[in-house]
Structure 1
């Protein structure tokens, strides 16, 4: 990536300027629609539609009992609207399937959905989400485009018409959380920790560090990450190994978003095979990768997703963990009052550098909602600074506005790790989000997971992916 651009589509200068200058912003203006009150306590929006009833939000457990409903009302959602947060499945692929099932059945609930920025576009191109550009006022859409993280806006935009279908809720990217106390016992110190914030160790060096820390303690596990056969392996953890070793799905970043059927498939290149070998070696230490990577991850990671590794690291059973930014807040809380000391660094580097999967979630509307007027009020309120700050404070979700990054830097929880967060944000690798990616990611996750379990070799996994992904491209 360019040295003067962050992975979020924000210039480095703007990122640093806002990070240093913006503090805790006050309550923004009311986001609710105008209009007079009805005799039953309801209100009417600018279009004349009645605002009231219940708006269900396909959100997640972190939003339940988080106080965000009160924050939304304070930011302008009329009291006549009841907001219900629902809890979908934990892994992103199951969330996608549940949403698809609901839309195919033309169900009116949920009214609003948090969709993964990695699989929203296929819903958009099928008209399975509401075109917000057609339903919401021009001033609000302009605000979102001007204030939001550009890469997240892109993942909620129709690739052909340019219309906005989704509003950024929170960007995400991974980091390494680690036990400083265990590393101190292994001979590492503050100068090492400071260096790693902006100059992470290589995969080989990292595995040695973890191995040494394990050897000097009775901790159960070394390095934890997510290697289960699920969407997150294809889009994220394998993508990170792949890119850091110099490999690519389709020849490079320029081809990630197409054109489908007219781009090279490069999953069987030497560098791409190196990416599979690195992932296998961090578990098994087979010595097949070009870097001398020790086996410091348990075999269990081939069956784990984010909540599994998060809880295991937080209870003190591991030296390090790869997880999303929200995991920092969980570890800070878990380590409080204990002898455990938290450290944060970017992901280890390969020959092609240190790369971090671009994650995050965006707000979309069910086309079969029967309460659109009220749902629009919730969307507008969710974009207010006060709600996004509450979301960060209560659920550790990063704000989707660069102007609020300074709020993150000044927080007691995240401020000490801001340099590492900044490095990760400047070195993001997107997933190849196209209409065919849902089918392709299933193949990639299955074949790579099989290699992680040593049911086939990295070469065999690469060959199988190359053949199947190429067939999908040719048929598209």
Structure 2
């Protein structure tokens, strides 16, 4: 009997031990993984909370036990300052945030510095995920660096031309969402801007904000840098940095610089004070009827009426014109989500990106912040109309602008080139020195950038 009791006692102890171990094991397997997501906010507090809920719900629907902690990128500092803070996190090897937003300007620098984890994305993202990407969104192609995706695109942007069709209509100009008048050219646009502004007493023919001097899209468009004219051809657009020709004196560059300087000095349809304006300043001027044309990113289509009160019957958006071509010449912008290579929860971070890239999340962002999703199934008038009736009629307009958009020069010296262009071209545009001197300064600055990078390698 005693032996049987001992056996029973032993079996009970063994069973209890198994239950305890099983409980510990189950508890470990079922433990919630916490992921910190530093996301671009760019929307109202109310919409920010709604979007956070959408992403968290998507995570749950995927069957993942992941708690997402959202950290908004700082809105009280400039974009370069925000970029500097994120770079510091990466350089110092911090594991948080697990994933972060990054812009077109960050991408090449982050990749070459090892601040994005391509292996995690390629391993944990479903293979068919990449097939959804909008085929003509050129920023996506650049994201596939060396046949690897280092980040997931979630929005793109193109410059478009906003026109006051109520003013233009008085003088016989026809405006549709696909073109301005029947002769879409820079010369035709200049003539219309001068004629209408003079007849109507409108102070400005055309405005293009520069975000207080830090905005680069306008400068790259006017230079057509994305066609490679600055570097001897498109084959050198992405490098090799430190070993490529510098051709800032190419005829195409000189012609374009002269054409845009003329807008300020010869035709006098571009106000010099616009050099220091930001997007909101430009929208208010345009909405108040103080300009016939305005260059702005596509997000203005959804923001113009709320910001200025200008009804949609009085304006339209068309593809942006080039100084050298009748086609739109927008530069391609974009934002991505990337995984921190120091994260301790890489698989979970990828799953959060997957949840954030679900259709309901991206469609919500269209209306919340004018963020256009780079996924072909969503980029249709029908889908966009579900969340933004105002934007839907312009789906073809933006599609055409994307089609003609030039690639950005992704390289580790993107930021340095951008800063140089702004420093040189701002004073040139308003006549502080001529085009010839601007070209000389550009060439000297570009050579210095290339040489300094070559010494770092």
TM-score range with shorter-chain normalisation?
0.7 to 0.9
User: What TM-score does the superposition give when structure 1 sets the normalisation length?
Assistant: 0.77
User: Is 1:333 aligned to 2:306, yes or no?
Assistant: yes
Between the aligned partners of 1:97 and 1:200, the Cα distance in structure 2 is 44
Tell me if the contact between 1:277 and 1:458 (Cα under 8 Å) persists in the aligned partners. yes
User: Is 1:188 aligned to 2:172, yes or no?
Assistant: yes
C-alpha deviation, 1:62, in angstroms = 2.0
C-alpha distance 370-214 of structure 1, shift in aligned 2 (>3 A): farther
User: Is 1:133 aligned to 2:119, yes or no?
Assistant: yes
Q: Which SS does the other structure have where 1:364 is aligned?
A: strand
1:280 to 228, 246, 261: 261
1:239 to 220, 225, 235: 220
User: What TM-score does the superposition give when structure 2 sets the normalisation length?
Assistant: 0.80
C-alpha distance 244-133 of structure 1, shift in aligned 2 (>3 A): closer
Aligned position for 1:17: none
Write the mapping of 1:17-416 to structure 2, written as runs, cut at 5 A. 50-53=31-34, 55-62=36-43, 64-66=45-47, 67-77=50-60, 80-88=67-75, 91-129=78-116, 131-134=117-120, 137-140=123-126, 142-149=127-134, 151-159=138-146, 162-185=147-170, 187-189=171-173, 191-193=174-176, 196=179, 201-227=184-210, 230=213, 232-233=215-216, 236-243=217-224, 248-285=229-266, 294-334=267-307, 338=311, 341-354=314-327, 355-369=329-343, 372=346, 374-406=348-380, 407-408=383-384, 411-416=388-393
C-alpha distance 369-318 of structure 1, shift in aligned 2 (>3 A): farther
C-alpha deviation, 1:382, in angstroms = 1.1
C-alpha distance 76-393 of structure 1, shift in aligned 2 (>3 A): same
Tell me if the contact between 2:319 and 2:398 (Cα under 8 Å) persists in the aligned partners. yes
Between the aligned partners of 2:369 and 2:176, the Cα distance in structure 1 is 26
2:408 to 431, 444, 449: 431
Between the aligned partners of 1:180 and 1:135, the Cα distance in structure 2 is 46
C-alpha distance 417-90 of structure 1, shift in aligned 2 (>3 A): farther
Between the aligned partners of 1:341 and 1:104, the Cα distance in structure 2 is 49
Between the aligned partners of 1:308 and 1:373, the Cα distance in structure 2 is 43
Deviations 1:169-206 (A, max 9, x none): 10111101121112123x134x4446726966322221
- For these two proteins, the number of residue pairs brought into alignment is 419
User: Which structure has greater helix proportion?
Assistant: 2
Alignment RMSD (CA, Å): 3.3
C-alpha distance 314-136 of structure 1, shift in aligned 2 (>3 A): farther
Question: Which has the larger Rg?
Answer: 2
Q: Which SS does the other structure have where 1:470 is aligned?
A: helix
Tell me if the contact between 2:125 and 2:351 (Cα under 8 Å) persists in the aligned partners. no
Could you list the runs of 5+ residues in structure 2 that have no partner in the other structure?
A: 1-22
Between the aligned partners of 1:368 and 1:246, the Cα distance in structure 2 is 36
Could you list the runs of 5+ residues in structure 1 that have no partner in the other structure?
A: 1-38, 286-293
Tell me if the contact between 1:331 and 1:342 (Cα under 8 Å) persists in the aligned partners. no
C-alpha deviation, 1:146, in angstroms = 1.3
